[in-house]
Structure 1
Amino acid sequence: MCLAAGVATAGGVGADVIVGDLTGPAHWGVVDGISSYSIGTTSCNVGTEELDWIAASNRHPVIGQNIYRIMDGRIEQIGQSYLKHGYFALQGTLCGSCIRSSSGGAALGVGCSDPYGTGDNGNQNRLGPKSDVDPSTGFFNWPHSQINQGGDAIFKRLQVPLAKLDFAAQEAGDVVYVGEAIYVAADDATAGNDANNASYRAMRLLPNGEDFGWNGSTQRTKPAIMAWADHGLGLNQPDPNVDIQEFDLPDDGVVFVGSNVIDNGDGTFTYYYAIENLTSDRGVGGLRIPLTSGASATSFFFNDIAYHSGEPYDDIDWTSEIDGGEVVFRSPETFAEDPNTNALRWGSLYTFGFTSTDAPIQVQAAVEYFKPLVGADAEYAADVWAPQGVAICSAADLAEPFFELDIADVVEFLRAFGAGDPAADLAAPVGEYDIADVVEFLRLFGAGCP
């Protein structure tokens, strides 16, 4: 269900901040082909306890702003801002009844809302870098590392290359623009309520090709990746092929993984994958998509988002290749080699893709963490679309004659299992060959071909 501004939203136990409305937006100017914006935000505490909002401390929310475009069957992030640091909470009623905080502006009461306009969210003195914040806990040092620093019209603000904006394409129905805001707060994270911290709103590029308005209402608690499904075939035209999963990661934050497949009508298919890292501090350093036997993959696609205004991260593109029966996208270096390499960090979305001559099948891809954690998994599995090579009836149909499960499939599974072949990697954890894979093979084998 899509929740619009003004509709009450159920929350979690403890402090629970959401984005109740996106307002504005404001256009600040253009420098060297980069256009800058800010998006106004009204937050709501939909939890059962007050939300800290203490100025000049590390006990207040931080607010990120992003812009995306949906085109050609994929979603891409095209702009991001620094983080606005909260400083005073008004006690409004946008999201329903409000129990005002007795501490005044130092906390947001239960059910209450607080508006920040585009001027506040574009105030360079109050904007701090994302790199200062652990999104999984909401912790940051105070004062932040770039406090009270100003600059030109685009410094720290939501930056979008003008080359990414196309009014004519929008009017032709070929592109949809989307604005998003996200709040991160320590008490919200402690309560385990960080999965609903982002909301999106469809945008409308104005005829001058620089200014934006809105197209529709705010979609509460839905991160921008959800707009891919909601507007994948055009504004307010859902794409039923887009499949999105949410991952609430142990001892970390929340990540969304989506995929789509487009039949190009010429015997080829284009596969797209998007990962939105909402609040994971460990981030993402790789994506591996298994190819079934004989499947092809060419014309690799990758889109990331540029950091700016003094953030320490580099912008070198990820590598892409076929390796060991998988399409592999990976950050240029590991965390051990360079902690500031181009990883998929929080509050951002990366897009991946390739073309194949093979029709789709659902498989389990491996999403690799960027930051290691002692004793924790190095990756997790996500269900995605991928090319199907030789036509088979199930993942247990490993050998000829296909569409018939027999001893040849058992022999091939045992060979693949012993060789560490991805064809035998049928169950989580992806990349490990253990009894879970054997059990899954036996289950599939016993089910037979439909």
Structure 2
Amino acid sequence: MVCKVDQIFHSRGVYACSFLHHWPISAMPKHARALSDRYLLRPIGLLFGTLSMLSAPLLAADFGEYRSDGGRIALELRADYLKDFGVEVRAGMQVLGERHLHHSRLRGEFRAHLSSARFGRFSGGRLYFTSDLSLGYDGAWLSLEELTLSAGADTRRPSIAAAVAGGDVLLELTHLHTNLAPEGRELVIDHADVVATPALARRIGYPALAGQVLGSARLVLDVADFEPVEQVLTSRGAAACEGRPYWPQDGHRADIALTGIDGVQYQGRDSGRVKLAPSAWLKNLGEADVPWIAKFEENAVYPYAPNDQHPYLVWSLYRLHEGRIEQLGVSGAKHAFNTVNLNCDLICDYFEVNSNNGDVLGPGCEDVYGASTNDMNSAMGPRGEIVASQGGFSSTNSFFDQNGDGMQDHDSGEYENRLLVDESELSNQGARYFIDAWYLVQCDADISNSMGYVEIDPQMVGDGWTFDLLSSFEQGSAINLWVYEGSEQSLEHHERFEVASSTPDAGCPEGMPQGHARLAVRVEQLSDDRYVYRYALVNHDIDRGINRFVLPGVDGSRIDGLASPEGGWSSSVVDSCRLQFQTSDEALDWGQVRNFELISDFAPRSGHARIHLVGPSPPQSVAVETLVPDDQSLLFCDRFDSPAN
């Protein structure tokens, strides 16, 4: 078999040819060129030192070894929020007050294993970085003039340790994105969080600084004499490359799981409101290849419109206090733009060669976004433009394209489309705090494993805040914190429900359900033998929204302490036997939680609440099992307490 190609792959004994595309940036389509200008050529970080890191998915035999005589680096230190901790950033003798981007050249030599479109591993060499940067606290200054890099211990989640002479590691570079630029002339290590170590915190005399993200890192290394490597790619699991890619729209199961939140970072304060964001890990558990194409980018392999399809990350902050779960704030939508494909079960040429190197998340592959990346103005947008039930988005004429020409011309401001919470909400005595994150993915078969949460410890340090993790990561809806799904306790209930598609035979994404939601309730018996009913209604991804919540068996003359949620909702009793909470203009949008509360003379029984959806489309309401007051005189009022009504 003769192939006029640059690469050969092998799968289950079948050989095939694939063409390798080499696009100089000047020859790229305008959308890809705009994306490259925004994400590839705009430096946003730093890398310096000795490199010896292993990338897990492929073996060294699959790559050729290449040499670099240097490159360029940039460091963005977040002086804008470090000053809130009392930490000063200095360039030379100038003390900085805002984000600072420092550029320099790398000297020395390094060697790396590279294929036609992928980074394999560093194989040796040493690079040198010098700067005039330093960090100061309480009159003490720590120079960042010279640092040496080495690989972190965890090769499945690559990181880089930055040490000074004498061996103390001062910085860790985590959540790395590695890509081979067009034509293989540059190796880019991008979007890394630069994290302070305990040694740095000790040297500067500020223990609370350990674990905090100081900025972001980027390294662009020149690759000498690059030539595409003829290689054999084999499956590493039960799946194989033959016939792929498998797109979700073709009936293949897409299942993206959130697998970790390993940090939560303070990112500034504005008028008494604190901005924070998590770092997140995910994995493709399904058989489908998931498109990860940045907004406004074009990809010839993905055949469906809109072509620039990608997931979205959203996050929320919760407080458990005095028997309630309260949602304190929600983020905008972070638009994903590149996947690193770590630790894959399968390596195929279509997401190495033909997909702009990061446009497809393959089966079994992992991806990561750090807290710095989740605070990028160019990636954060409003939730309202996402069709949550389908995971869809149209970039043209969106928030990012305000003149409608199909290219990005607008970014978010520093405190726009972010999770912001009033500082006064973070210091309630006896309260517990949690942050969750959720990846919205088109055609996702199981949204419950795409979300998860961790407990955090908000502590004010100077004028800033730290959010140390107090628990391990738990997968699932954050409402499980309050009432666990499947609980058999007599005074609580948690019901998950789905609003069926009006066109279930249409396939993905048009045939996806209209959305998912949850209703949880906890009942507390008071000392005077009355009962407090506390409800939490969660709209995960019902785009229509929820505008009415109705409980049966509640007579207005027999309730006390009625609490209506904030945000334009009101309460009333209908026909002397139904309590309803409703709104005319502040519907419960997707990704939001509302609380409802009442005190009754009656103990709980199993019943059905009715959840009303916005708009005339069917269904207009859904009956959901829950706990309701057991007032026998109102049991059959208007036959409401039945799933059929």
| TM-score (ref. length: structure 1) | 0.73
Provide the rounded CA distance (Å) in 2 between the counterparts of 1:175 and 1:362. Answer: 30
Provide the rounded CA distance (Å) in 1 between the counterparts of 2:387 and 2:556. Answer: 43
Q: How many residues align?
A: 354
Provide the rounded CA distance (Å) in 1 between the counterparts of 2:458 and 2:565. Answer: 21
Corresponding residue for 1:308?
none
SS for the counterpart of 2:378 is helix
Alignment of 1:79-94 (within 5 A): 79-93=329-343
Match of residue 328, structure 2, among 72, 78, 82: 78
- What's the offset of the Cα at 1:295? 7.4
Instruction: Report the CA distance shift for 1:210/1:299 in structure 2 as closer, same or farther (over 3 A).
Output: farther
Match of residue 542, structure 2, among 264, 280, 286: 280
Opposite residue 571 of structure 2, the aligned amino acid is S
Contact 1:286 1:369 in 2 (8 A): yes
Opposite residue 37 of structure 1, the aligned amino acid is L
SS for the counterpart of 1:142 is coil
Provide the rounded CA distance (Å) in 1 between the counterparts of 2:456 and 2:382. Answer: 25
Corresponding residue for 2:496?
246
Provide the rounded CA distance (Å) in 1 between the counterparts of 2:433 and 2:490. Answer: 19
- 1:398-424 per-residue CA deviation (whole Å, 9 max, x = no partner) reads 6xxxxxxxxxxxxxxxxx6xxxx33x3
Percent of aligned pairs with the same residue?
24
Match of residue 282, structure 2, among 35, 39, 43: 43
Contact 1:201 1:218 in 2 (8 A): yes
- What's the offset of the Cα at 1:238? 11
Match of residue 291, structure 1, among 553, 556, 564: 553
Instruction: Report the CA distance shift for 1:292/1:343 in structure 2 as closer, same or farther (over 3 A).
Output: closer
Provide the rounded CA distance (Å) in 1 between the counterparts of 2:564 and 2:390. Answer: 30
- 1:332-355 per-residue CA deviation (whole Å, 9 max, x = no partner) reads x1xxxxxxx211111111111112
Corresponding residue for 1:27?
266
The question of 1:387 aligning with 2:637 is answered no
The question of 1:155 aligning with 2:413 is answered no
Provide the rounded CA distance (Å) in 1 between the counterparts of 2:563 and 2:473. Answer: 30
Corresponding residue for 2:438?
182
Contact 2:380 2:412 in 1 (8 A): no
Opposite residue 598 of structure 2, the aligned amino acid is F
Provide the rounded CA distance (Å) in 1 between the counterparts of 2:286 and 2:597. Answer: 39
Corresponding residue for 1:113?
366
Corresponding residue for 1:318?
569
SS for the counterpart of 1:243 is strand
SS for the counterpart of 2:424 is helix
SS for the counterpart of 2:594 is strand
Corresponding residue for 2:380?
127
Provide the rounded CA distance (Å) in 2 between the counterparts of 1:428 and 1:361. Answer: 15
SS for the counterpart of 2:558 is coil
Corresponding residue for 1:329?
581
Instruction: Report the CA distance shift for 1:292/1:31 in structure 2 as closer, same or farther (over 3 A).
Output: closer
- 1:7-51 per-residue CA deviation (whole Å, 9 max, x = no partner) reads xxxxx9611112111132111122122111111111211111111
Provide the rounded CA distance (Å) in 2 between the counterparts of 1:368 and 1:213. Answer: 39
Provide the rounded CA distance (Å) in 1 between the counterparts of 2:411 and 2:535. Answer: 37
Provide the rounded CA distance (Å) in 2 between the counterparts of 1:215 and 1:303. Answer: 29
Corresponding residue for 2:70?
none
Provide the rounded CA distance (Å) in 2 between the counterparts of 1:224 and 1:215. Answer: 15
Q: Which has the larger radius of gyration?
A: 2
More strand by share: 2
Corresponding residue for 1:347?
591
Instruction: Report the CA distance shift for 1:382/1:238 in structure 2 as closer, same or farther (over 3 A).
Output: closer
- What's the offset of the Cα at 1:292? 5.4
Higher RCO (C-alpha 8 Å, min separation 6)? 1
- What's the offset of the Cα at 1:426? 4.2
Unaligned runs of 5+ in 2: 1-155, 157-250, 297-307, 352-356, 401-407, 502-513
Instruction: Report the CA distance shift for 1:64/1:294 in structure 2 as closer, same or farther (over 3 A).
Output: closer
Corresponding residue for 2:27?
none
Provide the rounded CA distance (Å) in 2 between the counterparts of 1:213 and 1:238. Answer: 32
The question of 1:367 aligning with 2:611 is answered yes
Contact 2:269 2:275 in 1 (8 A): yes
Instruction: Report the CA distance shift for 1:284/1:150 in structure 2 as closer, same or farther (over 3 A).
Output: closer
SS for the counterpart of 1:213 is strand
Contact 1:51 1:187 in 2 (8 A): no
Alignment of 1:225-264 (within 5 A): 225-229=479-483, 241-251=491-501, 252-264=514-526
Contact 1:23 1:118 in 2 (8 A): no
- What's the offset of the Cα at 1:75? 1.0
Corresponding residue for 2:160?
none
Opposite residue 536 of structure 2, the aligned amino acid is A
Corresponding residue for 1:166?
427
Contact 1:295 1:389 in 2 (8 A): no
Opposite residue 416 of structure 2, the aligned amino acid is F
RMSD between aligned alpha carbons?
2.6
Provide the rounded CA distance (Å) in 2 between the counterparts of 1:294 and 1:361. Answer: 18
Contact 1:302 1:317 in 2 (8 A): no
- What's the offset of the Cα at 1:240? 6.8
Q: Which 4+ stretches in 1 moved above 6 angstroms?
A: 237-240
Corresponding residue for 1:428?
643
